[in-house]
Amino acid sequence: MSVLGEPANLTFDLREIPFSTRGSWLNLSPVTALHTRTDAVHLVSHRNGMHAVLRLEPIRDAQVCAATWTASPSVLGWRAGQGVVEATFDGPDALLLRGVGLGLQLSDAADGLTPFTGTYLFADALDDTPTFTSYETGRRYRVTSRLGAIDIQGAEALGVASRTVVLGGDGMPWEATVEEIGTAAVPISSGRSFDEVAAAQTSAFTAFVDAIAPWRDDRTPAAELAGYVLWSATVAPEGFMKRESVLMSKHWMDKLWSWDHCFNALALAPGLTELAVDQFLAPFDHQDASGALPDSITHSEVLRNYVKPPIHGWALRRLRATAARPLTRAELEEIHDRLTAWTRFWLDYRRRPGHVLPYYQHGNDSGWDNSTTFDKDRLIESPDLAGFLALQLEVLADLSAELGRPATQWTHARDELLQALLEQLWTGEEFVAVGARSGQRSTSSSLLNLLPLVLGERLPEEVRSSMVAHLLDHLTDHGPATEPVSSPHYESDGYWRGPIWAPSTALIEDGLRASGFTEVADIVNARFRALCEQSGFAENFDAVTGDGLRDRAYTWTAAVYLMFAADFVRRSA
């Protein structure tokens, strides 16, 4: 047995990127919780949150043994000496396993059971099939032998106990499936061999990456891995997810926040327009009566205590410019109505009486949770918010006119907002935020205050030039730090107080191009691509060393890499 080849023989570090497949709510990974990495691979479910359900360990002579891991988009392997165990996904809800020279022990990840927590193991009286049931996920995990020995230990045990199913281990070849099921299901019977199932996985991934990155070559060496991060983090519609959706990660950041989806949509649009439109619209499925989008969505919860910034007009314009096909009238009408309500939310519910500028209620609303812009006040009229909303009003005006709807109100609101942005938040040298209640100016050291660059030539030339001069204070060898390294507030792992992030980099790069500073934009583009090629697709990066920080398989990071790489290849043609 051997791991099948992938495009360009793609492999990845399982400690950084989980092994999964498009449409699945499952993955295999040693990462089992927030910042928690174990020594063993676990079957992890993202239904009802992130839960490690089973621990998978190779065995020899009835003992757990040390093994090395190899991971590719279609096959995960354990190797110890001449022995090997391999796993592949046979559809979104089932793992196909096989081994020779090694067995595999499947164990309750918690080793404990109470009336309300833990995993229970029993052999079903119907057919003696071993089945784990999990309180945390609300699902069952059925183990079916296809070939070779299977042994059950700890069946029907309560409380603290060892609950295991052992596959093989006698030196003979074995095969089995592990399925995540509900209360009952017909046993899986695909009729395909392990090699056929793995080959189908390879074909599915290859078709995906060929669709979204047909331009990839030696100049974009991380494109296939970026494609895998997106492909493997995509889940089928279920629970509160009404559409096929790309999660931020299949580590602990297993949510869809109401601005990250825009970057994933932009990476998908050039080759998979339908999937891109679904990403764009996913949070709008939970838009409330005020027009607000939720802060985040998971399989089993929708949070509404915060919102996220209105970058959706900016994203829609880019999506339409790069999409593989024109959006249909039905798609545009739905987007128009959703975007109208979202825009009205900011105009009707987030402006202090008598004020033109909208305000955030907390850093979380901006997506920049702990940015220094919020140090003096939490409720602020912020330059980035005004810039995003002005762009969204312009895009909405254009879309309204295209669909034969009234557009003048949006154009007027845009012009009024742009005027207020310059008159109230521009000091003559830089943009600042102002407390919505206090009226006091915020610190101006955060990169957040430079995001009005996305307005491009809608801003006076002297304003743009001054902003770019300030941007250079943020620019490190790896890209724009969210707080200048020289700032007394800088923290190397300070979330939005120093590290480099994909969304801020994407918005700054686009703003530089819109503002006529293409050479600086090219530098930002090249440094971010090199950063990802060096350090992968982490949630964020140390601005000085370039090391990846926090969650290491973040889809918006992969998405921005793909956006930048595609633009780079096009410009180089």
Encode pLDDT of 396-428 as tens digits.
Answer: 999 999 999 999 999 999 999 999 999 999 999
Do 532 and 222 meet the contact criterion of CB atoms below 8 Å apart? yes
* 329-349 vs 383-402: helix crossing angle, rounded to 10: 140
Q: Which is nearest to 531 in space by CA: 496, 504, 494, 570?
A: 504
Residues whose CB is less than 8 angstroms from the CB of residue 207 and which lie 6 or more positions away in sequence, other chains included: none
Give the C-alpha separation, 411 to 393, whole Å: 7
β-bridge pairing 94-100 and 174-181: antiparallel
Domains of the chain (ranges plus CATH)? 7-202 (2.70.98.10), 213-567 (1.50.10.10)
Give the C-alpha separation, 400 to 417, whole Å: 19
User: Residue 5: its pLDDT value, please?
Assistant: 41
Amino acid (one-letter) located at 178? V
Give the C-alpha separation, 505 to 521, whole Å: 10
Encode pLDDT of 83-129 as tens digits.
Answer: 999 999 999 999 999 999 999 999 998 777 777 788 999 999 888 89
Q: How many CA atoms lie within 13 A of 125 on its CB side?
A: 1
Average of per-residue pLDDT across 557-569: 98
Do 279 and 261 meet the contact criterion of CB atoms below 8 Å apart? yes
SS3 content of the chain, % helix, strand, coil (to 5): 35, 25, 40
Q: Considering only residues 554 and 160, tell me which one the structure prediction assigns the higher pLDDT.
A: 554
Give the C-alpha separation, 308 to 290, whole Å: 14
DSSP class of residue 3 equals P
Q: Which contiguous run of DSSP H or E holds residue 502? A: helix 502-514
Average pLDDT over the chain reads: 95
3-state SS, residue 77? strand
Do 493 and 539 meet the contact criterion of CB atoms below 8 Å apart? no
| Chain centroid offset of residue 263 CA | 9
Do 514 and 455 meet the contact criterion of CB atoms below 8 Å apart? yes
Tell whether the model's pLDDT for residue 4 goes beyond 60: no
Encode pLDDT of 188-247 as tens digits.
Answer: 776 899 999 999 999 999 999 999 999 999 999 999 999 999 999 999 999 999 999 999
Do 204 and 22 meet the contact criterion of CB atoms below 8 Å apart? yes
Give the C-alpha separation, 98 to 354, whole Å: 68
Encode pLDDT of 490-520 as tens digits.
Answer: 999 999 999 999 999 999 999 999 999 999 9
Residues whose CB is less than 8 angstroms from the CB of residue 469 and which lie 6 or more positions away in sequence, other chains included: none
pTM equals: 0.96
User: Residue 444: its pLDDT value, please?
Assistant: 84
Encode pLDDT of 335-391 as tens digits.
Answer: 999 999 999 999 999 999 999 999 999 999 999 999 999 999 999 999 999 999 999
